[in-house]
Amino acid sequence: MFRQLRFVLAWLACLVLIEARPLVRHIRSTHEFDRVLQKHATETGLPVIVDFYSDGCGPCRMMAPIFQKLAKQKQNEAVFVKVDTNQMYELSGRYGIRSLPTFVFFLGGKKVNEFSGAGEQQLYQFTDGVIAKSQRENVLLTLESLEEYYKKLDPNKDVTNVWEKCAAQSNIKGKQLCAGGAATSLARKLKQKYKEAPKLEKLFQPEEQQAKTTKEDKKPAKDQPSSKAEPNLHLATKEQLLAELEKREDQEVEEQLESETDDDAEFQHGWTPGDFPERVTIIGGGPAGMAAAIYAARAGLEPVVVAPPLGGQLQGKGVDVENYPGLSNVTGPAVIAAMREQAIAFGTRFEMDAVARIERGSPFKIYTNSTGAVIQSHAVIVATGAEAKWLNIPGEYEYRGGGVSSCAICDGAAFYNQHVIIVGGGDAAMEDALVLARTSSKVTVVHRRDTFRASKILAERVKSHPKIHVEWNSTLVAIHGAEEKVTSEDETMDLDSVSASTKKYVTGVSISTKSPSGGSSTRKVACNAVFVAIGHLPATSFLDGVVDFDPNRPGYIRLANGSTHTSTPGIFAAGDVADSVYRQAITSAGSGAAAALDAERWLSENNLGNEAAELEAELMAELMQDMPAAGAASDVYNVYQDTSSLGRGIKESIKTEL
Catalytic residues: 407, 410-411
Q: Which of 27, 24, 105, 100 is closest to 68 using CA atoms?
A: 24
574 within 8 A of 564, measured Cβ to Cβ? yes
Strand order in the sheet with 520-526: 474-485, 502-514, 520-526
Q: In what order do the strands lie in the sheet with 442-446?
A: 404-405, 529-532, 419-423, 442-446, 468-471
Give the ranges where 438-558 is alpha helix by DSSP (H): 456-464
Q: How many beta carbons lie within 10 A of that of residue 508, not counting itself?
A: 19
For residue 531, which phi and psi values (nearest 5 degrees)?
-115, 125
Spatial separation of the C-alpha atoms in residues 272 and 350, rounded to whole Å:
10
| CB 336, CB 350: distance < 8 Å | no
Peptide bond into 220 cis (omega under 30): no
CA distance 290 to 385: 12
Which bin fits 271, alpha (ψ -120 to 50), beta or left (φ > 0)?
A: beta
Is there a contact between 529 and 421 (Cβ–Cβ < 8 Å)? yes
Q: Which residues pair with 223 in a beta bridge?
A: none
Separation between Cα atoms, residue 634 and residue 644, nearest integer Å? 18
**For 587, phi and psi rounded to 5 degrees?**
-70, -35
CA distance 534 to 574: 22
159-170 helix and 180-194 helix, angle to the nearest 10 degrees = 140
> How far, in Å, CA of 2 to CA of 14, rounded?
19
Report the SS3 class of residue 386. strand
Q: How does DSSP assign 306-338, residue by residue?
A: E--TT-HHHHT--SB--SSTT--S-BHHHHHHH
- Nearest CA to 529 out of 417, 438, 638 is that of 417
The DSSP line for 568-611 is STTEEE-GGGT-SS---HHHHHHHHHHHHHHHHHHHHHTT-S-H
Classify 478 as helix, strand or coil. strand
What's the residue count for the chain?
Answer: 658
Q: Would you call 508 helix, strand, or coil by DSSP?
A: strand
Q: How many CB atoms lie within 10 A of CB 204?
A: 21
Nearest to 488 by CA among 52, 50, 93, 111: 111
The DSSP element (H or E) to which 616 belongs, if any, is helix 611-626
Cα separation, 2 vs 6, whole angstroms:
6
Strand partners, 474: 513
Angle between helix 120-136 and helix 58-73 axes, rounded to 10 deg: 40
Closest CA to 582 of 317, 334, 306, 287: 287
Q: Which residues pair with 387 in a beta bridge?
A: 537
Whether the bond into 363 is cis, omega within 30 of 0: yes
